[in-house]
A = this chain, B = another copy of it.
Amino acid sequence: MGRLAEIGNIPSLKQLVYENLRERIISGELEPGTRLREEDLSEEMKISRAPIREALNMLERDGFTVIVPRKGAIVAEATEEERDYIWEMRGILEPYAAVKSMPLISEEKIRKVENDLKKVQENPDDLKLYMDSDLELHEMLYQNLKNHFLKDTLENMRAHSLRMRWAVENTCPGKRGDIESESTKEHLKILEALKQKDEKLVYDAVYEHLQKSKDRILSPK
């Protein structure tokens, strides 16, 4: 094996386009209903339509775009109905996943997440810190899963949740601090349950957290 520099795997254009569009949809830059014309994207990114098409197909299967045959792709709507669907899925799958993951989560990992959560509490104004910590915790709950169907579905649902969340951040900025604070408390409760290695406690803590998250995002009074 003569060659070195074997490390950096060259990602295909379709992958890059996929990640780019996905990010922009999740962040809200590409709003629901936005038309995604292949040639527009092709010109913008200075590449051909071929990888664009493949990326749009990938996004459709994730539920981020809707493709009408011979009409084109648009960014999927983020209606209240859709949000219900997302949270329904998470409500079914994530508590189960958490219990299943329990034996795969190390003590060190728990301590690290716990530590990061404390930092969040100490810096209530750092949104990025909160988002990262939130991601870290939820990924901990399913990143070790061997069942890729379960894992992929959960990751996708989480991505959708993120998109929904931004909608709230933008429309109702005042209450953000409160949301974070409550959510963080629930996160700590989940960690506590994990430490005790009590299946029912874990299941209930995750389920409760999801329910409350859903309520907070759907009706952030």
Contacts and interface: CB of A to CB of B under 8 A. Distances in A.
Contact of A89 (B9, B88, B146, B149): B149
Interface string A81-117: 1001110110011001000000000000000000000
A41 to B, nearest CB: 17
Interface stretch (A28-36, A53-61, A170-178, A195-203): A53-61
Contacts of A92: 92-93, 96, 150
Interface in A65-93: 69-70, 81, 84-86, 88-89, 92-93
List the number of copies, as a whole number: 2
A157 interface: yes
Contact of A69 (B12, B69, B70): B12
Contact of A157 (B50, B85, B149): B149
A136 to B, nearest CB: 24
A63 interface: yes
A70 B86 CA distance: 34
A196 to B, nearest CB: 23
A149 B63 contact: yes
| A50, A148, A150, most chain B CB atoms within 10 A | A150
Contact of A57 (B57, B70, B85, B150): B57
A28 to B, nearest CB: 20
A147 interface: yes
12 contacts: A50-B50, A53-B54, A61-B61, A81-B146, A84-B147, A85-B146, A85-B149, A88-B147, A89-B149, A93-B93, A149-B153, A149-B157
A202 to B, nearest CB: 16
Nearest to A70: B12
A42 B93 CA distance: 39
A93 to B, nearest CB: 6
Given A69-B12, A92-B92, A96-B92, A149 B86 contact: yes
A69 B9 CA distance: 10
Contacts of A96: 92
